[in-house]
Amino acid sequence: MTTETGLDPVAALAVIGCLGVGAQWVAWRLKVPAIVLMLAAGILAGPVFGVLDPARDMGTLMAPMISIAVAVILFEGGLTLNRHSLRDAASGVLRLVIIGAPVGWLLSTLALHYVAGLGWASSTVFGGIMIVTGPTVIAPLLRQAKLAKRPAAFLQWEAIVNDPIGALAAVLAFEYVMVVNLATSFEHAMLSLAVGIVLALGLGAAGGYGLSASFRRGWVPEYMKVPVLVIVIVGIFAASNLVLHESGLLAVTVMGIWMANADLPSYQEIRRFKEHATVLLVSGVFIILAASVDLDQLMDLDLSALLFVASIVLLVRPLTVMTSLLGSTIPWRERVLVAFTGPRGVVLVAVAGLFGVRLAEVGIADADQIAPLAFALVMVTVVLHGFSLKPLARALDLAGGVRPGVLIVGGNSWGTTLANALHRADVPVLLADRNMRNLRAARDLGVPTYFGDILSEAAEHHLDVHNYEFLIAVTDNDAYNTLVTTDWGPEFGRANVFQTARDKESWSRYALPASLGGRTLANGTGFGDLLDKVRAGWTCRTTTISTEYAIDQFRADRPDAVMIAVIGETGKIRFFNSDDMGKIPAGSRVLHFSKPRDPVLDAN
């Protein structure tokens, strides 16, 4: 409902949700950075058209809502940081945190003082906050850019671990400013800071240990695990903040990392719920952030502000990363990618705004410039890195996958002929099997293979699934195929996982619910029939469709062919799960499973 004073809180939340989720969906359809569209949607709805004003519409609810949202986002980020994901990036991440944080603080402080023209007090506090690179921004950027595994781990770990460190650095600098300006006890300020940090670490570890032990021993029923988890996150965040402001960020991050490494049986279910919640929260927080911007303040920024943002992007960030990784074994391409990828997010704006107000209250004259400078930095880096990360990764050969690849599970003769046809069509393909002997024929054909169980923890941490858009399970075990497609469905998307038809699916007592398994491949042809046809000489191959040789002519020439997929001129693949093939334009290649025919036809 809209009133003379704006929207009521419920209507404001509805608008925020629609704009945030809608922007992410449009970005997915258009294949553009979601973070940029969310920023644009918030600015248009807020200061441009005046439909949404979070401070006016939500009042005192806005600040605690943002704080809790950021706490949940950081916890979910910590929940993704297990020791296995750090294995190949450990030394680089430690350098970015241990060396990069103080170097970044120093360089940012110098840029704020000498380029932006702020005093030393404001520069030191704001410089500490600028250590953060924004987990609220990194997550959607990585999802869209699909980087190779190690540089993605660098950016993810740095963003999440440095986020609370940056907030605490700002607290440290602020306490020092308070001592200087209010003549309070320096020893008391440092003692409060130390106690707050130790308490945050203790609360985070205790919360992670307690929840992990409770979940593992069955003290919490399955249906209550997520509610209990959310309440504990909020409780620990609030308790730590009571002792030291912003230390709750450190507490929930530690709690998430602890639980990520606890090897919980229910870890995947919890993580997926938190990922869904995080998508909603990131959307909402960014819409609120963008809608709250004061365009007048931004317009008042002068050339020094522009030079400050440029110095952060082009000098401070690269110097920080290169100094941190100096002498390491990290390849130069990965150093360059990380050096020129440093987007800032909502934590920077929220904490900068808070400390800007507090510094102004103690008489720091230029403290009111902190908030607009923070938002200008966020806006520029979000747009810049949103559009530049993927092209930069491709230029440095660090993109996870440029063409849509196919991961095939099952090295039998049917899986091998399918993988070989895709490989010959220049489609990235990987054939996986638990039996080394089943992969021998594929290796002889030059098809990339993976020996191991696709459901194992080793496969999860060593396979870069970003290289593959589709997963196909074609083993001789229907139950295993169903398990593989169900387990990997959330990673690939339910529409992109396929399996051969289950032999007894038509029997009501064997039929499985739609929530299990993948889509049916090969027009419902069962695995046994496919193997019989392979023994009879059938193989998978591609045939080019042209204006002279249309799809109708192809079907007339090969009426028995089993249609598998169509490969477009750009390499895009569309798999069939029924006999309805839809429109197949000229220039496309049809992937089919058919018996040997005339050599002239098979040459296509």
pLDDT of 199-217, one tens digit each? Answer: 888 999 999 999 988 888 8
pLDDT beyond 90 at 477: no
Q: How far apart are CA 457 and CA 393, in angstroms?
A: 27
Q: Please give the mean pLDDT across all residues of the chain.
A: 81
pLDDT beyond 80 at 35: no
Q: Which CATH architecture has domain 2-395?
A: Up-down Bundle (1.20)
Across residues 355-369, what is the average pLDDT? 79
Alpha helices in 51-185 (DSSP H): 54-58, 62-79, 90-98, 100-114, 120-129, 135-145, 149-182
Q: How far apart are CA 339 and CA 460, in angstroms?
A: 27
pLDDT beyond 80 at 597: no
pLDDT beyond 60 at 438: yes
Give the count of alpha carbons within 13 A of 335, CB side only: 18
Instruction: Of 546, 549, 542, 555, give the one whose Cα is nearest residue 602.
Output: 542
pLDDT for residue 409: 92
Across residues 117-126, what is the average pLDDT? 88
Range list for CATH 1.20.1530.20 in the chain:
2-395
Report yes or no: 130 and 312 within 8 Å, Cβ to Cβ. Answer: yes
Q: How far apart are CA 594 and CA 604, in angstroms?
A: 13
Query: Between these two residues, 464 and 12, which has the higher pLDDT value?
Result: 12
Instruction: Of 417, 575, 410, give the one whose Cα is nearest residue 480.
Output: 410
- For residue range 76-100, list pLDDT tens digits in order: 777 766 666 556 556 777 788 888 8
pLDDT for residue 389: 85
> Is residue 501 very low, low, confident or very high in pLDDT (cuts 50, 70, 90)?
confident
Q: How far apart are CA 167 and CA 133, in angstroms?
A: 12
pLDDT for residue 314: 92
Across residues 379-393, what is the average pLDDT? 85
Range list for CATH 3.40.50.720 in the chain:
405-602
pLDDT for residue 603: 47
Across residues 407-416, what is the average pLDDT? 90
Q: Which two tokens stand for residue 454?
A: 């696709």
- For residue range 508-548, list pLDDT tens digits in order: 555 666 567 788 887 777 888 888 888 988 899 888 888 88
Instruction: Of 463, 468, 487, give the one whose Cα is nearest residue 149.
Output: 463
Q: Which CATH class is domain 405-602?
A: alpha beta
Separation of CA 298 from chain center: 30
Q: How far apart are CA 351 and CA 169, in angstroms?
A: 11
Q: How far apart are CA 237 and CA 256, in angstroms?
A: 12
Highest mean pLDDT among 164-168, 396-400, 446-450, 600-604: 446-450
Q: How far apart are CA 134 and CA 161, in angstroms?
A: 10
Across residues 337-366, what is the average pLDDT? 78
Instruction: Of 235, 379, 406, 221, give the one whose Cα is nearest residue 298.
Output: 379
> Is residue 67 very low, low, confident or very high in pLDDT (cuts 50, 70, 90)?
confident
Across residues 493-511, what is the average pLDDT? 72
Instruction: Of 191, 170, 167, 154, give the one whose Cα is nearest residue 249.
Output: 167
Across residues 273-278, what is the average pLDDT? 70
Highest mean pLDDT among 137-141, 151-155, 383-387, 396-400: 383-387
> Is residue 330 very low, low, confident or very high in pLDDT (cuts 50, 70, 90)?
confident
Q: Which two tokens stand for residue 523?
A: 């027009």
pTM above 0.75, yes or no: no
Q: How far apart are CA 427 and CA 401, in angstroms?
A: 11
Report yes or no: 222 and 266 within 8 Å, Cβ to Cβ. Answer: yes
Report yes or no: 574 and 589 within 8 Å, Cβ to Cβ. Answer: no
